Amino acid sequence: MKNEPLQPSGNGHDARASAPQKHGESLPAKSASPEMGAAIQRLIPGRITRDALLDLFDQRADYKTVQSWRYGWRGPPQWAVDLIQGKLAARAAAYLAAGAKLKPGNRGSGAAGTKALRAWRERKARERDEKEKAAQDRAAFGNSEPE
C-alpha cells in the first residue's frame, strides 16, 4: 500500500494537485505600502540599494525592519515617520528655493538672431520696393516719351 501510485480522483484531477498548500502560498501577495514606499521612492531616485535605504534612516534601523515598513508588513515607528517627513520637507524647500532663484534674463543669443533677421527682411523689402518703383518709373517714362 505504501508504494502504490496515486489514483486520479473521480473528477479527473491527480490526488497530488489537491494536497494542502503552504500557508504563505495561500495568502495574497503584499504590495508596497503606498505611503512609506512612495516617500522612499521620492527620497531615493532610481534603484533603491541596501546602503541607500539604511543611510536614509541614518543607520538607526536594520535592513529587514526598513523593508517591513516599506512593504507594509509592519507600521513604522513615530521617529521613522518624523525622519522621513523632515527629509521630504527639506527636499521640497530646496526645490522651492531653486525655483525662487530663477529670474528672467536677457533673451540670449536668439534675440540677436531675430533682430538680424528682421533687419534683413526690412532691407530686402526696401530693395524690392525700390526696384518696383524704378520699373514703374521706367515704364511711365517710356510711355510718355515722344517718338
38-94: pLDDT as tens digits: 899 999 988 999 999 999 999 999 999 999 998 888 889 999 999 999 999 999 999
User: Which residue segment(s) compose the domain that 123 sits in?
Assistant: 113-147
pLDDT confidence bin for 122, thresholds 50/70/90: very high
Query: Is 15 a member of any domain?
Result: no
Domain for residue 107, yes or no?
no
Q: What is the pLDDT of residue 141?
A: 79
| Residue 140 in domain | yes
Q: What is the mean pLDDT of the chain?
A: 81
> Are both 70 and 121 inside the same structural domain?
no
pTM: 0.50
Q: Cα–Cα distance between 20 and 39 in angstroms, integer?
A: 39
* pLDDT mean over 13-40: 64
Domain for residue 16, yes or no?
A: no
Q: Helices H, strands E: what count in the chain?
A: 6, 0
Our count of domains for the chain comes to 2
Instruction: Check whether residue 86 and residue 117 sit in a common domain.
Output: no
- Residue 127 is predicted with a pLDDT of 96
The DSSP secondary structure of 102-127, one letter per residue, reads ------THHHHHHHHHHHHHHHHHHH
| 90 shares its domain with 35 | yes
